[in-house]
Amino acid sequence: MEYSNRLKELPEQFFASLVSKVSRAVNEGRDVINLGQGNPDQPTPKHIVKALQTAAEDPDSHKYSPFRGLPELKETAADFYKRQYGVEVNPEKEVAILFGAKAGLVELPMCLLNPGELMLLPDPGYPDYLSGTALAGAEYKTFPLKKENGFLPDFQAIPMDQREAAKLMYLNYPNNPTGAVANHAFFEETVSFAKKHEIMIIHDFAYGAIGFDGKKPVSFLEAPGAKDVGIEMYTLSKTYNMAGWRVGFAVGNPVIIEALNLIQDHLYCSLFPGIQRAAIAALSDDQGCVDELVNMYERRRNLLLKACHDIGWNVKASQGSFFAWLPVPDGFNSEHFADYLLKEVDVAVAPGNGFGPHGEGYVRVGLLVEEERLIEAVNRIGKLRLF
């Protein structure tokens, strides 16, 4: 038996390789501090778990829900955007319920592109963006996110032939892996660029709740005209520690939303109603749990920053997400440095080149372990006297 060409063309799963290396070390009995993962370490808030428990006991939850999700969840998502960002959303035509945002990000190229058509992706960027291009048979080009530009793209540096050919562009702020954020002016520029070149914009807002130093991340849909050119994807995984629950939603341009709904009509028979009820509770109930979570990540960021400076590691503070983007020391590339830390001091980090060629020279660290372990990891690295 032989796999289809589509499966053969899928990129190697970067995170699977990283997990395998860490698992081998743990199985050898080593005390590994894993800073390479992107999996929230805190439990889902109790009131959300309770909402699931209550819904699971209701026999109505044991049936199929409507193919395109509960109307109440769509209305709640629209209310959430109005309350959080001042954005008006039509719950019937401008909301799609997702089986986690990753599913939507991988599905969209199949919805919007024909084989051979071009999409533009950030470098460095979330590796699974490439999965969608492979499954769609689409072509892609990358645009660099550079330190000197605040890890924002320079639209004018994108070659003109790519601007004219591209149909789709992915953006992601707060950014994985760099921790950079975008402002209103950038998203206004994005809308203008997209309209001029007739490019659809997909903004991956996975870390939309996590901004530091008193600054709330900006939604792409806050920019005038954003819904004319694109959508935004929001996941409950990070905001509410619901990574394993696999629920999110997309909001914005009704044509793109309908494309997502249409493909999901054929892929799924609707998300378990109990999870949808829990998502309603998460989005509509008091958001104090989110404030506490963001404060915790900011404390961890500040402790990491101080610990790194104490060992002579010149790092910059991330502005959002739960990641830090740290430069590797002289004499190493990203993968060599990551392997060296795991081998010598049992600290796992994600090599930057796994996020694209422009990620070379950095490693990604997750703020996803207890504060004591975070400091211990940096102290272990300090004993190597690399800085």
pLDDT of residue 200: 98
pLDDT of residue 15: 76
Mean pLDDT over 362-386 rounds to 96
**Look-up of token digits 């992107």:** 38
Is residue 261 helix, strand or coil?
A: helix
Measured between alpha carbons, how far is 40 from 299 in angstroms, rounded to an integer?
15
Mean pLDDT over 358-373 rounds to 97
Measured between alpha carbons, how far is 169 from 219 in angstroms, rounded to an integer?
16
Is residue 255 classed exposed, middle or buried when 0-12, 13-18 and 19+ CB atoms within 10 A define those classes? exposed
Mean pLDDT over 211-227 rounds to 97
- pLDDT of residue 17 exceeding 90, the answer is no
Confidence band (pLDDT; 50, 70, 90) for 19? confident
Cis preceding-peptide flag for 224 (omega within 30 of 0): no
Which of 270 and 329 is assigned the larger pLDDT? 329
DSSP 312-378: T-------BSSEEEEEPPTT--HHHHHHHHHHHH-EE-EEGGGG-GGGTTEEEEE--S-HHHHHHHH
Domain ranges of the chain: 5-44+288-382, 46-284
- pLDDT of residue 291 exceeding 90, the answer is yes
Structure tokens belonging to residue 271: 């998300």
pLDDT of residue 12: 80
Is residue 33 helix, strand or coil?
A: strand
Greatest extent of the chain over all pairs of C-alpha atoms, in Å = 62
Indicate the CATH number of 46-284 among 1.10.599.10, 3.40.630.30, 3.40.640.10, 3.40.50.970: 3.40.640.10
- pLDDT of residue 38 exceeding 80, the answer is yes
Residue-wise pLDDT for 81-129, tens only, equals 999 999 999 999 999 999 999 999 999 999 999 999 999 999 999 999 9
- pLDDT of residue 14 exceeding 80, the answer is no
| Strand-pair category, 350-351 with 362-366 | antiparallel
Confidence band (pLDDT; 50, 70, 90) for 20? confident
% of the chain at pLDDT higher than 90 = 92
Mean pLDDT over 251-267 rounds to 96
Mean pLDDT over 211-229 rounds to 97
**Look-up of token digits 């072509």:** 139
- Laid out side by side, the sheet with 248-252 consists of 95-98, 248-252, 230-235, 200-204, 166-171, 118-123, 139-144
DSSP 165-185: HEEEEEE-SS-TTT-----HH
Tell me which fold the domain 5-44+288-382 belongs to: Aspartate Aminotransferase, domain 1 (3.90.1150)
- pLDDT of residue 364 exceeding 80, the answer is yes
pTM of this prediction? 0.96
Measured between alpha carbons, how far is 59 from 263 in angstroms, rounded to an integer?
28
Kindly state the DSSP code that residue 211 receives in the 8-state scheme.
Answer: B
Measured between alpha carbons, how far is 11 from 267 in angstroms, rounded to an integer?
22
Please, which residues have CB within 8 angstroms of residue 1's CB and are 6 or more apart in sequence? none
Nearest to 208 by CA among 321, 330, 126: 321
Kindly state the DSSP code that residue 84 receives in the 8-state scheme.
Answer: H
- Indicate the average pLDDT of the chain: 96
What torsion do the CA atoms of 281, 283, 287, 289 make, to the nearest 10 degrees?
70
Measured between alpha carbons, how far is 245 from 197 in angstroms, rounded to an integer?
37
- pLDDT of residue 260 exceeding 80, the answer is yes
